[in-house]
Amino acid sequence: MFFSKKINLSLALLLVSNTGFALSHQDTPKLILQITVDQLRGDMPYRYLDKMGKGGFKYLLKKGVVYKDAHHNHANTETIVGHATLATGALPAVHGMIGNVWYDNKLGRLVYNIEDADYPLLSVDADVNQKTEIDPTQRTAKSSGRSPRNIQVSTFSDELAIATNGKAKIFGVSVKDRGAVSLAGHMGKAFWFSKKSGEFVTSQYYYDKYPDWVTDWNKAKPTKQYHQKNWTLLQPLASYEFAQQDDQAWETKFPGFGRIFPHAYGDMSNGYFNTFLTLSPAGDELTLDFAKALVNNEQLGQDNIPDYLSVSFSSTDYVGHIFGPSSLEAEDNLLRLDKTLANLLAFIDRKIGLDNTLIVLAADHGAAEVPAYLASLGMDTKPVTPKNWDKSPGMKALKIQFGFDEELIKSYFHPYLYLDRDLVSRKKLSLAQVQKAVAMEVAKLDGVAVAVTSSDLETANIPNDYVHTLVANNHSSNRSGDIYIVLESHRFVADMEGLTVAATHGSPWGYDTFVPLVFAGFGLDDKIVHQRVSTTDIAVTLSAILGIKAPSGAQGIILEDAVNND
């Protein structure tokens, strides 16, 4: 049963300026449930809505405050960038998480966004039978340690901890470590799935030892339920839009998993068993099971102090990369995700009550379609191959001009191109001039739409247009590379450290910035809002509803329809 708890906007705005937790208990949710679906473009839930049940996406989209035109306002639409933006209400230029990886000049290497050698994993996490995971950014990390210390500002969950004098219980859960760590913030606790051990793990940043319930949950071997099982279709094949397109030539044929149904998980001893789980709805199902155990054992939402739980579902991202967002696998995954969401919301309703729970659903980024799929529909497009950029005629001429006999481009790791700064320094050349010259040449290459130098971004010497604005919003003077590369619309690099993927994301184009945004529960009345809003508005709006100060770097605005919901 739902009842209305109206919050006056002027009162909320007044209370935001207070440093203490100010709203009376009857106006305060017992739980803030922040759901993030990795790689969920804003249109995707609607595509199969007629095949879904009532308790998942339909509940959110028909009972909540739905923003139909929500976008990320930064150029590098990658996982950590979007998650950190959702958490902080800040742009990457402020929160500092400008990419899944970046080059650290002090260390002289690429670093993974949340790696932290000071805080190793609590568990050994070293099953030698498990193969390298599918996410190539993880292979950049030189340590298994993880923490949120690279996030340069506070999160909403941090502000909740401050406002309640540390009494709010704050947790983040995800298959991906960066999906859990970012939203748990600096003051909460995070758990994520280890593909090596098949367990949910955490680091010494959060605990000295695992809570007993986590140890017991892992000892029960929850992945065993998938032993010798298959990912099969949820509904009859004939009911699927992509029923006749199961085996598409552009899909990644991951060894042992294949590209047609059923997809076998195989034996638990198989080195890729845990990876296969994440390439399917099983990853989300495991995340749900762990989240439910957490709510039960940590007693979330059981007193008058609001608690916070972030659940980030990752399977949509992995399925999208391997099979593409327009595939039979992606279609079935969304139908199964809908069941998982319905299960989560029904559980929360039983334990806490949806009228006592403030829910927000969004995504860290959208999704690009597979170029070959678009080509099959009549669009002339194909992936980009940057590995030979340094050997292009223009770059060869440029190196002769500058007197270089070595490769000037040190590396390209999306979206940044890195120059050999030591070489530039030895030649006693201006870095800004070399950046400019290289950017002009790279901009001429196939697939490149815009090449923007860090020097121009730092001096605001860029055009005042939409794409350049999003690039500037992504720039960090101490983390960004020499030249930001924006590829042409519907073009991307399909090679991820030797793994050819069907589709990816990471551009400033609309298909990557467009995400769903819904506030629901807590007595909110249903409403459709068509105005353009930003993902930076979420943390600010949550802060307004609770009457606490917004995160330290927040740049969004309060969404009045979610606050003053008359």
Model pTM greater than 0.75?
yes
Q: How far from each other are the two terminal CA atoms of the chain, in whole angstroms?
A: 18
The 10s digit of each residue's pLDDT in 138-166 is 778 888 999 999 999 999 999 999 999 99
Pairwise CA distance, residues 280 & 335, whole Å: 12
CATH class of 386-491: alpha beta
**So where are the chain's domains?**
9-16+31-67+76-373+508-563, 386-491
pLDDT at residue 500 tops 90: no
| Mean pLDDT calculated for residue range 37-45 | 98
Distances (CA, A) of 428 to 108, 403, 422, 425: 20, 11, 10, 5
Instruction: Kindly state the tokens that stand for 316.
Output: 């949509």
pLDDT at residue 11 tops 80: no
Pairwise CA distance, residues 229 & 378, whole Å: 38
Q: What is the DSSP letter of 530?
A: -
Pairwise CA distance, residues 41 & 319, whole Å: 13
Dihedral class, residue 521 (left if φ above 0, else alpha if ψ from -120 to 50, else beta) = left
Pairwise CA distance, residues 279 & 11, whole Å: 46
The 10s digit of each residue's pLDDT in 346-391 is 999 999 999 999 999 999 999 999 999 999 999 999 889 888 888 8
DSSP class per residue in 340-364: HHHHHHHHHHHHT-GGGEEEEEE-S
The 10s digit of each residue's pLDDT in 427-485 is 999 999 999 999 999 999 999 999 999 999 999 999 999 999 999 999 999 999 999 99
Segment among 208-212, 425-429, 479-483, 542-546 with least mean pLDDT: 425-429
Pairwise CA distance, residues 118 & 167, whole Å: 26
For 9-16+31-67+76-373+508-563, CATH number? 3.40.720.10
Within 10 angstroms of residue 105's Cβ, the number of other Cβ atoms is 11
| Mean pLDDT calculated for residue range 299-313 | 98
Q: Annotated catalytic sites, by residue? A: 79
Contact 242, 326 (CB under 8 A): yes
Kindly indicate the confidence band of residue 25, based on its pLDDT and cuts at 50, 70 and 90.
very low
